[in-house]
Amino acid sequence: MKSKSNHTKSFMIYEELVEKIQNGTYQPNTKLPTEHEFMQQYEVARGTIREALQMLYQNGYIQKIQGKGSVVLDIRRKYNFPITELVSFKQIAKAMGGTSRTILQELSLIKPDAFIQTELNVSTAAEIWKVVRTREIDGEKIILDVDYFNKQYITFLTKEICEDSIYEYIENELQLSIGFAKKEILVEEPTEMDRTYLDLEGFPNVVVVKNHVYLEDITLFQYTESRHRPDKFRFVDFARRFANYSYPNM
């Protein structure tokens, strides 16, 4: 999972601590070194350490307890699944282990119909890339991804890019920074497309994840529907009660 360059001290410390939590250097339910110890270890100001710890906190790696210290959580380890982050299928497949394959069913430039005009907020004149891909895991076609990209921002696409990772291409080749996405999870009846491209095995509905994806400058460039066979669908989320807004500092 790489993206734009982030060579700040706090981010590098964060990455190092994530690594040490994942490889067991810091064990679940034990305390991390104190902020003061980290200060000396990394020779940075306390605020810098607190930023790194805040990222760990925000992403569910640790719990910070005032007066006590930071405790390593094992939630990530227990559910080794991408938790509420924007990740591509390639990353998920890699994390899950099993054999996976992407089959490109369609790659075309289209004029947006009324639905796509609304979802991508474009006029009839716009040009849109339509990408249809089947995701096969352990020999079963269980996910159908239908993507629509605004050609104004994603100017060029090829079969090879779609079969690898479009996100990697967007961030590394096109040098665009993906900012955020709004996800919506629903259950729908299978469409004709679902029936042809998925191994539905008689399941009477599909779980649909609808995604609007924005760049960092707030331009909406992608609308995606990820259509899952219900028995294979799983979504894991980590939520804090108040995103306990204790922020680093100063």
Stretch that binds DNA, among 35-43, 83-91, 113-121, 125-133 (CB under 7 A): 35-43
Residue 85 contacts a second copy per CB under 8 A: yes
Of DNA, a second copy, none, which one sits near residue 233, judging by CB under 5 to 8 A according to partner kind?
Answer: a second copy
Closer residue to a second copy (CB): 109 or 185: 185
Residue 70 contacts DNA per CB under 7 A: yes
Interface residues for DNA in 231-250 (CB under 7 A)? 245-250
Spatial separation of the C-alpha atoms in residues 71 and 68, rounded to whole Å = 9
Stretch that binds DNA, among 2-10, 96-104, 114-122, 160-168 (CB under 7 A): 2-10
Question: Residue 226: in which H helix or E strand, if any?
Answer: strand 220-228
| Crossing angle for the helix pair 9-22 and 46-58, to the nearest 10 degrees | 50
Spatial separation of the C-alpha atoms in residues 229 and 85, rounded to whole Å = 21
Residue 28 contacts DNA per CB under 7 A: no
Stretch that binds DNA, among 9-17, 74-82, 138-146, 168-176 (CB under 7 A): 9-17
Interface residues for a second copy in 5-44 (CB under 8 A)? 6, 8, 10-11, 14, 29
Q: Residue 242: phi, psi to the nearest 5?
A: -130, 25
Residue by residue, what is the 3-state secondary structure of 3-68?
CCCCCCHHHHHHHHHHHHHHCCCCCCCCECCCHHHHHHHHCCCHHHHHHHHHHHHHCCCEEEECCC
Residues contributing to the site for DNA (CB under 7 A) = 6, 8-11, 32, 34-36, 43-48, 50-51, 53, 64-70, 217, 245-250
